[in-house]
Amino acid sequence: MGGIKVDLGLCTGCSLCAKQCPFGAIEIVEKKAVITDDCTMCGACVDACHFNAITREVAQKEAAPDSSGVWVYAEQIEGQIAFVVYELLGEGRKLADSKGELLGAVLFGSEMEEAARDLIAFGADRVYLLDDPQFFNYHDELYAMALSELIGKEHPEILLLGATTIGRSLGPRVSARVGTGLTADCTGLAIDPENGMLLQTRPAFGGNIMATIVCPSHRPQMATVRPKVFQSAARDPSRTGEIIKVESPQVTLRSKLIERVREQAENVNLQEAEVIVAGGRGLVDEKNFKLLEELAQALGGVVGATRAAVDSGWISYPHQIGQTGKTVSPKLYIACGISGAIQHLAGMQSAETIIAINKNPDAPIFQVAHCGIIGDVFEIIPALLAELKQ
């Protein structure tokens, strides 16, 4: 396998590397490490080897094309700027300052002049504004074409999008059109002081490993960024900046939005919630979720659930948190009757404060919790509600 080389003279066949490999791509054959086809060249084995027997050759990539500026995609829905945009502006400002470059915001929509000025107050030096009634609602083909054309004209160095439903659909479409790399769902961003490249850190395997990824020779370096991970920018109305008008692209559309439906009953915007009260198998029955609703209401939060609870039909799928549901990072996460299966932890372990209530002291949820109560949910929550009412 190109890239990862094992020095057979140094290899002792100790299998430390095979145990560390997140992809199961190392076999020990006749007391020597053999790299198999599953290898993704991540380099975890290089660090794992105590005998310096493994090296990674990084392909010499050509130099990156000229580019400048850190851009933030300012997602809007029905004229409302998505909350993640303010977090991107906060983080983007830091990246732009450390590179000594401008921070740009890209805003597509209809009648968005005022919102554009507001983005300047939140830290943008330039706002690329495409103001056209056709852009009132998000549309994959239309937006991807407009954003790709703008990139082709302006050559930004970095482009950040929120890892939202829209960002995770638009991002890959644009990166494919432009022919550059895209890192999904980042939770850490930094500039490499040695070469100025964007270091993009993201969880993989449901958060069990973290990978730092770079895009050496293609521009822009694109990343979608997980909401609620970075601090929002502060608003400073005295800031000044420039609004640059962008022309609508010529494009033949093959898809159309028929309607946008907001579901009142199902309106569980878990990703935006500051407080989530979640229930699992330990709740035993559908009716017990009422108790969680009460607690959520008292704390100004919303109700989440594990896959087990959703699969049991106690609560609907939009509430599901975890690998096959939503990924959340609220300020406060209260896990009630949740054992903490790895798939559930994947969706909530980046919460700021985690409180776990569970009867079983060995439940894995206590490994990620900041505060634990070993006890019966049906005793603790009513007592807690009584306390909160006081």
* Helix axes of 167-178 and 140-154: crossing angle, nearest 10 degrees: 50
198 touches other proteins (CB under 8 A): no
Report the C-alpha dihedral over residues 362, 275, 204, 177, rounded to 10 degrees: 170
Which residues, 6+ apart, have CB-to-CB distance to 253 below 8 Å?
Answer: 139, 141, 142
Show contacts with other proteins in window 351-380 (CB under 8 A): 353, 355-356, 366-376, 379-380
204 touches other proteins (CB under 8 A): yes
Which residues, 6+ apart, have CB-to-CB distance to 94 below 8 Å?
Answer: none
2 touches other proteins (CB under 8 A): yes
130 touches other proteins (CB under 8 A): no
Minimum CB separation of residue 349 from other proteins in Å reads: 8
From the list 330, 284, 322, 291, the residue with the least C-alpha distance to 305 is 322
Q: Select from 5, 32, 155, 177 the one that contacts other proteins (CB under 8 A).
A: 177
249 touches other proteins (CB under 8 A): no
Q: Say if CB 205 and CB 217 are below 8 A apart.
A: no
Q: Which is nearer to other proteins, 128 or 143 (CB)?
A: 143
**Distance (Å, whole) CA 217 – CA 330:** 36
**Distance (Å, whole) CA 309 – CA 319:** 10
Minimum CB separation of residue 346 from other proteins in Å reads: 8
Minimum CB separation of residue 84 from other proteins in Å reads: 10
213 touches other proteins (CB under 8 A): yes
**Distance (Å, whole) CA 346 – CA 50:** 30
29 touches other proteins (CB under 8 A): no
Q: Which is nearer to other proteins, 243 or 268 (CB)?
A: 268
387 touches other proteins (CB under 8 A): yes
Minimum CB separation of residue 318 from other proteins in Å reads: 8
Minimum CB separation of residue 236 from other proteins in Å reads: 27
**Distance (Å, whole) CA 194 – CA 124:** 26
Tell me the window of 153-161, 166-174, 242-250, 282-290 that interacts with other proteins (CB under 8 A).
166-174
